[in-house]
Structure 1
Amino acid sequence: MAEVQAVKNLDTVRLVSYLLEKRCSRQMSQIWNIGLNLALRISDLLAVKFTDINNDRLIIYESKTSKLAEIKLNDKALTLINEIKLTHPHHIYLFQSYRNQQAINSKPKPLSRRAVTKAFALVGEELNIHLGTHSMRKTRGYHLYQKTHDIARVMKMLRHSSEATTLRYIGITQEEIDKDFEELEL
């Protein structure tokens, strides 16, 4: 299986959202759009509960690293979260499984990683890109880097501990670094 990629073209970022809604569901599109804005790993994103959100902040401990992630929610994320809350006022999880609701006495569960992986792969195949659940984090990191060229800022946002890891993760290649050296003459 090929490594998933950051979506480097902003029109393609919007097209992924559109296709997820048309081919899969509104919920998959919401996962994509909120995931882009929070830059969380999929396991943490799917585990978000409405109680983790306090006004304009999301506060969770990451499952992989146990690091505290305190994320200020931007307007787009807040709008989407409020839309979900209005549509599903009794949900516990931001991305709660609808299938689970059909089992009357079942405890609520978040949507499964497998369902998201399948939906993203379907759209990725249609667009001929390696799209997966990490593509949201990678895409946000890539676009922040392109905007700021501040790798330390991207590292902090992704909560990485090395520049090399972050550059590789967001898909900045040696070829792109070489191009920067060629184009910037002082």
Structure 2
Amino acid sequence: MPTTDESNSSANRPTPWNKGQLVGQKRPLKPKDVWSIRARLEIEGRERDLALFNLAIDSKLRASDLVSLRIEDVQVGGRARERATIIQQKTARPVQFELTDGTRKAVQVWLMHRGSGAGFVFPSRARSQSHLSTRQYARLVHGWVTDAGLDSPAYGTHSMRRTKAAQIYRKTGNLRAVQLLLGHRKLESTVRYLGIEVDDALSISEQLDL
């Protein structure tokens, strides 16, 4: 039986952010889901969310790196970059990513609306924070997938990171390329991250006739 001190300690312990939620590897979005979410954000004129969503898909960045992007990371001379390089917070290693035409346009529109030529791409609306928090980003992601008619608990911020990487792997089978794009130190990490099974590997092997 717990002592009074133990009971008080349990009562004061903060509730985990993911209590009662589905925890595990989140699904990547399918191309049709990406188009659906993007179209909805465009129609509704949600400039910040569209730029955030497009950057999330193109950059394949972790949530912490995405929300802390600075204007100079994605724009130079008043124009959106075609390629960007950042240092990852988790690994302290550089990673590169491309900005496709649609993403560059969305970023340009958002930055014109946002104003100011310096600072974070996605500043926080809360005075206590300098940029959008990962928690707020997660809420936005769940809103996007819910509006698209998807099962919200099955998706999360890692869905955004995995989406393009999963498509690249499916179309090319090039794990090394995906490893570089995700900034993983080890190929084994990329294999686990993509959830590659033996059947996937055999399928790729069968396409090669030597």
Instruction: Name the TM tier (shorter chain).
Output: 0.7 to 0.9
Q: How do residues 54-93 of structure 1 correspond to structure 2 at under 5 angstroms?
A: 54-55=75-76, 56=81, 57-90=83-116, 92-93=119-120
Over aligned residue pairs, what C-alpha RMSD do you find? 2.8
> Contact between 1:49 and 1:94, CA under 8 Å: does it hold in 2?
yes
Partner of 1:5: 27
Give the length in aligned residue pairs: 179
> Contact between 1:37 and 1:74, CA under 8 Å: does it hold in 2?
yes
Partner of 1:153: 177
Distance 2:204 2:98 in 1: 32
> Contact between 1:6 and 1:170, CA under 8 Å: does it hold in 2?
no
Is 1:37–2:58 an aligned residue pair? Answer: yes
Report the AA paired with residue 30 of structure 1.
A
The secondary structure found in structure 2 opposite 1:127 is coil
Q: What's the CA shift for 1:138?
A: 0.7
Q: 2:71 aligns with which of 50, 53, 63?
A: 50
Partner of 1:127: 150
* Residues 114 and 175 of structure 1, relative CA distance in 2, 3 Å threshold: same
Partner of 1:103: none
Q: What's the CA shift for 1:122?
A: 3.7
Distance 2:39 2:123 in 1: 21
Is 1:140–2:140 an aligned residue pair? Answer: no
Q: What's the CA shift for 1:184?
A: 6.1
Report the AA paired with residue 94 of structure 2.
L
> Contact between 2:37 and 2:144, CA under 8 Å: does it hold in 1?
yes
> Contact between 2:173 and 2:204, CA under 8 Å: does it hold in 1?
no
Provide structure 1 residue ranges, at least 5 long, that are not aligned to the other structure: 101-105
Using the TM superposition, name which of 143-152 and 83-92 deviates more: 83-92
Partner of 1:166: 190
> Contact between 1:36 and 1:137, CA under 8 Å: does it hold in 2?
yes
* Residues 144 and 49 of structure 1, relative CA distance in 2, 3 Å threshold: same
> Contact between 1:20 and 1:119, CA under 8 Å: does it hold in 2?
no
Is 1:177–2:201 an aligned residue pair? Answer: yes
In the superposition, the TM-score normalised over structure 2's length comes to 0.71
> Contact between 1:21 and 1:29, CA under 8 Å: does it hold in 2?
yes
Provide structure 2 residue ranges, at least 5 long, that are not aligned to the other structure: 1-21
Using the TM superposition, name which of 155-164 and 117-126 deviates more: 117-126
Q: What's the CA shift for 1:73?
A: 3.0
Sequence identity percentage:
25
